[in-house]
Amino acid sequence: MGLVQTIIVVFGVIGVAYAAAHFKLLDERVGDGLSEFVFMIAAPLLLFRTMVTADFHGTAPWGLWIAYFTGLALAWALSDLAIKVIFKRDNRAGVVAGVSGAFSNLVFLGMPLMLSVYGQDGFAILSLIVAVHMPSVMAASITLHEIALRRDGVFEGETRLGTVVASFFKSLLRNPFVLGILAGWLWRFTGLQLPVVVDSLVQLLGSVAGPVALFAMGMGLKKFGTSGQLAPSLVIAGIKLFVMPAIVLAVALLIGLTPFTAKIAVVSAALPAGVNSYLIATKFRTAEALASNSMVIATALSAVTVVFWASVAVHLFG
């Protein structure tokens, strides 16, 4: 199956799930349950097995991280600036805009997409981004939100930052993705092979992460929907879908990233924001509509834009 056809199938699953939720063929609690299964079991096991079995030689993790996170940082800064300068929102909304314009949906959309288009080798490279992506974005969002609180005049006490940071690290160490990645690296360092029965069990449960994640995502889009504030949401979605991958592409070319790794970096950067951007907005109790709208709009548009960036990457990197 060709690149375009594969991407169409991937987004087709999302569309089927959205239709199932829209026409009430399935209760929205089904989508919540599927999301929980992917988050707690299937995806962590897939990440664990990838850390244990993947061949990371030649993937240039530092170059990959430099290219990807340069794009993330600049897209974040531009989104923050756009919301505050063009739409006159406060600093806290700027933080949410930054997350929405830079935090790619690497798990629920990225994992199945990479497995379908680039296979296990592509997923292995993606997992190197995932290992750094979520902790760094969460840490940055918490820190910037605390700074924004002070700038907006809603400072809530001298110990707030320390308390929030401590809470962040506690929740990070309970995150199933982080635990799956850490457990995989620890097992890899032992040099031991996974027992055949264990490997088969992990592989079986992990193998369903892709399609189940796509279906859960489609049902989730129906639940979140859009409501007002479409102009700023379109701007943020545009930065996420066009500016961030363009920056990652430019940096990859500049530093001479290996072709296959560069393709994964560019396509990963071209993914829309996921539900984490909305969850961050609700946690901070600001700009929830902006986060929800930009996520839904970007996801819908990405059915076309991901094909565009994947095609550009193939043209430039082979």
What are the backbone dihedrals phi and psi of residue 104, each rounded to the nearest 5 degrees, phi first?
Answer: -70, 150
Tell me if 205 sits within 8 A of 37, measured CB to CB: no
Q: Any idea what DSSP says for residue 272? A: P
Task: Report the distance separating Cα 209 and Cα 34, nearest Å.
Answer: 10
Task: Report the distance separating Cα 246 and Cα 241, nearest Å.
Answer: 9
Task: Report the distance separating Cα 75 and Cα 251, nearest Å.
Answer: 13
- Residue 170: the pLDDT is 73
- Residue 127: the pLDDT is 92
Strand partners, 104: 273
Output the DSSP codes for 298-317. HHHHHHHHHHHHHHHHHHHH
Task: Report the distance separating Cα 181 and Cα 43, nearest Å.
Answer: 10
Residue with tokens 């430099």, as numbered in its chain: 66
Closest CA to 237 of 91, 89, 102, 80: 102
- Residue 37: the pLDDT is 94
Tell me if 87 sits within 8 A of 280, measured CB to CB: no
Tell me if 258 sits within 8 A of 77, measured CB to CB: no
User: Checking phi first, is residue 225 left (phi over 0); if not, alpha (psi -120 to 50) or beta?
Assistant: left
- Cα separations in angstroms, 205 against 42, 95, 107, 244: 6, 36, 16, 33
- Residue 168: the pLDDT is 66
pLDDT in tens, the chain (318 residues): 677 888 889 999 999 999 999 999 999 899 899 999 998 999 999 999 998 988 776 666 899 999 999 999 999 999 999 999 999 998 889 999 999 999 999 989 999 999 999 999 999 999 999 988 888 888 888 788 778 877 777 655 544 556 666 766 777 777 888 889 889 999 999 989 999 999 999 999 988 999 999 999 889 888 877 776 789 999 999 999 999 999 999 999 999 999 999 999 999 999 999 888 887 888 777 888 888 889 999 999 999 999 999 999 999 998
Strand partners, 273: 104
Specify the DSSP element, H or E, that contains 39: none
Supply the pTM of this predicted model: 0.88
- Residue 251: the pLDDT is 98
